[in-house]
Amino acid sequence: MIKERLRRLRECMKKAGVTVYVIPSSDCHESEYVCAHFRAREYMTGFSGSAGTAVITEEEAGLWTDGRYFVQAQMELAGTSVRLFKMEEPGVPDVETYVKEHLKAGGKLGFDGRTMSAFKAEKLKAAAEEKGAALLVTENLVGAVWDDRPQLPKSRAFILEEQWSGESTGNKLERVRKQMAEQGADIHVLASLCDIAWILNIRGRDIPHVPVVLSFLSVTKDTCTWYVDGSALSDRVQRHLKENGIKVKGYEEIYTDLRGVKDGQKVWLDKKSVNYRLLYAVPEKARILNQSNPSELMKAVKNPTEIQNLKAAHLKESLAFTRFMYWLKSNVHKEEITEISAAAYLDHLREEQGNYLEQSFAPICAYGSHGAIVHYSATEESNTRILPEGFLLVDAGGHYREGTTDTTRTFALGALTEEQKRMYTAVCRGNLKLASARFLYGCTGYNLDILCREPLWQLGMDYKHGTGHGVGHLLNVHEGPNAFRWKLKDGGTPAALEPGMVTTDEPGIYIKDRYGIRLENELLCVKQEENKYGQFLGFEVLTLVPFDLDAILPQEMTQAEREYLNRYHQTVYDALAPHLNEEERAWLKDYTRKI
């Protein structure tokens, strides 16, 4: 099937004179997760992970992805003729280098300019110019061979009232315009769906697990225009827009409107989040201000209402997760439980909570060796029965009206080896060390990442993913600019941690073909004392789910680490016990006992 699709694509490439064709993972908005209509890379390669780039030449097809997906990609690409390129591994060329190596003078590089970020497209354009090759960005060649391509979604938008958002749309626009004035920008163009949803206080269901509406936004000193399919807007939403002075135009009309920008006008956009066709729609004599959207930092710093609501959301999620842990440990030796049925039961427990909307991402419920696949997703073919032995790794979350959650726990289901306990303890120690950090204002997640990795590095071990990501407020579960990492992403600038930012803390270890361990809490950055050295910050843990004491070696922990874990477990018990029945409370008391 994949080989036939590649053959047909190469026929289209030949007709268009294209010798190298690049297929990103994104949509027209640089979204991490995309609706079915935009899953072109998956359609052409068979790889279903959320991150990756395909490059098709006349003789070869390659797929680039990061360490989270190496195992999954190897499995999904088997028999497709698509070659896996493991990003950032020694001797592996990046996409731009590979493209330059395979482009020849007089050749032509192609990609869909709507689904390639301006930032990446300019790098590819430079590679083509360096090799004396032409560029084709106006034709969607994958669309020409995708016979049964799904249509664009048409979900209904809904308003996120101020009781949940904590700030009016008018005030958010005022803050954006103030920053525009400070930068001398005449027009601000946004393609990032989460930024648009946050500014407008509107959510939707156009992307699975990401409550947004496919759209663009432009803001000037006096106007705001939302480019969106009008059929998605109810009378109530339209009234909300009118009250805030927001005009509605068709989704595709932004490209035409940008061509009308006047000479000398300054257009503020982020080349990493706008697509290439948006960028080159702006006339050459206009001035481009290439900076992050001001709303990126605004939405990352949660306001008091959002924080209060998030704590309520995490109490609900923690109750569901803890009840799941109790059910799992009580029943795994009594009844047949599979990866899929376990994930479904967790979501059932979540649905019992008020204001639950949907999962915040496809759950990872990975038993045994499947846990070593960082972003494993159970299918009918891979679905495995969970036995009363080894580890079950569960990474899941929910969208509530109050906010978004993301939790990971690894459960011991029977007797463990000393090695398994030692690895679990090291991962747990890393999680606790980061959560208990105290640091001066100005520190970034890059300064703190070592705290989490150090227990594993001492064992000569590591994990091939970031330690933590920001979390949106009823938006994408993955949000910037805050993150815990030790490597800077391409062109990235570290963001200082600000009070009000929420970032995950999720170290892990993955032993191929054997097991995986990951432990994830969400951390709220908070102010601590201020003295002559400056403002100190720390973290408040939002996630309230016990770590599995059946997998911990207390002797491997320092006294301070044991004391911190005991305090955390006491907090978990105090918060959850009033909401549990007598049997559940007794069980939780044991699993939050002091060690």
CATH number of the domain bearing residue 76: 3.40.350.10
In a domain, residue 448? The reply is yes
Please classify residue 486 by burial: count the beta carbons closer than 10 Å to its beta carbon, then call 0-12 exposed, 13-18 middle and 19+ buried: middle
- Final residue in a domain of this structure, among 145, 167, 188: 145
Q: Which two tokens stand for residue 416?
A: 């463990």
Question: Rounded to whole angstroms, how far apart are CA atoms 269 and 218?
Answer: 10
518 belongs to a structural domain: yes
Which tokens sit at 161?
């009232």
Q: What does the alpha-carbon distance between residue 478 and residue 485 come to, in Å, rounded to a whole number?
A: 14
Spatial distance between the Cα atoms of 125 and 115, rounded to a whole number of angstroms: 15
At 71 the pLDDT is: 86
Identify which of 590, 509, 549, 573 has the alpha carbon closest to the alpha carbon of residue 412: 549
Query: What's the rounded Cα separation, in Å, for the pair 142 and 115?
Result: 12
Q: Three-state DSSP class for 318?
A: helix
Write the single-letter amino acid at 493: T
Query: Does residue 482 share a domain with residue 372?
Result: yes
Q: Do residues 413 and 328 touch, judged by C-beta distance below 8 A?
A: yes
Tell me the whole-structure pTM to 2 decimals: 0.94
Backbone angles phi, psi at 382, to 5 degrees: -95, -15
Residue position matching structure tokens 């689904």: 115
Enclosing H/E stretch for 470:
strand 468-470
Integer Cα distance of 103 and 367 in angstroms: 44
Element (H, E) at 188: strand 187-190
At 410-430, the pLDDT tens digits run 999 999 999 999 999 999 999
HEC secondary structure over 331-343: HCCCCCEEHHHHH
442 CB-contact burial (10 Å; exposed 0-12 / middle 13-18 / buried 19+): exposed
Task: Indicate whether 76 and 95 sit together in one domain.
Answer: yes
Structure tokens at 231: 């059929």
Q: Are residues 311 and 390 both part of a single domain?
A: yes
426 and 553 housed in the same domain: yes
Q: Do the domain assignments include residue 152?
A: no
Helical (H) or strand (E) element with 175: helix 169-183
What are the two backbone dihedrals, phi and then psi, of residue 100, each rounded to the nearest 5 degrees? -65, -35
Which phi and psi angles does 67 have, rounded to 5°? -60, -20
**Cα 288-190-50 angle, rounded to 5 deg:** 115
**One domain, residues 162 and 188:** yes
Do the domain assignments include residue 153? no
Q: What backbone phi and psi angles, to 5 degrees, belong to 556? A: -85, -10
* Structural domain count, the chain: 3
Do 340 and 385 contact (CB within 8 A), yes or no?
no
- CB-based burial, 541-552: b 16+ in 10 Å, e otherwise: bbbbbbbbbebb
User: Do 103 and 163 belong together in one domain?
Assistant: no
CA dist., res. 424 & res. 371, Å (int): 13
Q: Percent of the chain having pLDDT more than 90?
A: 95
Q: Please give the pLDDT value at position 583.
A: 97
Residues of the chain with pLDDT under 50: none
Q: Which of residues 98, 121, 145 is at a domain's end? A: 145
**308 and 226 in a common domain:** no
- pLDDT on residue 530: 97
pLDDT at res. 493: 78
- At residue 183, the 3 state secondary structure works out as helix
Q: Would you state the structure tokens that stand for residue 427, as one six-digit string?
A: 């991962």
Spell out the residues 6+ positions from residue 510 whose beta carbon is closer than 8 angstroms to its own.
371, 372, 373, 374, 463, 464, 516, 517
Residue 183, domain member (yes or no):
yes
Domain check: are 83 and 119 in the same one?
Answer: yes
114-128 residue pLDDT tens: 999 999 999 999 999
Judge if 52 and 90 occupy the same domain: yes
**Where a domain ends, among 262, 292, 322?**
292
Q: Is residue 165 part of a domain?
A: yes
555 & 411 share domain: yes
**What angle in degrees, to the nearest 10, is found between the helix axes of 418-435 and 559-576?**
80
CB atoms near residue 437 (< 10 Å): 18
- Conformation bin of residue 381: beta by default, left when phi > 0, alpha when psi is -120 to 50: alpha
First to last CA, the chain: 55
Please check whether residues 268 and 315 belong to one and the same domain.
no
Residue 189 lies in a domain: yes
Establish if 150 belongs to a structural domain.
no
- For residue 392, what is the DSSP state? E
Q: Do 399 and 500 sit in the same domain of this protein? A: yes
Domain extent, residue 343, equals 301-592
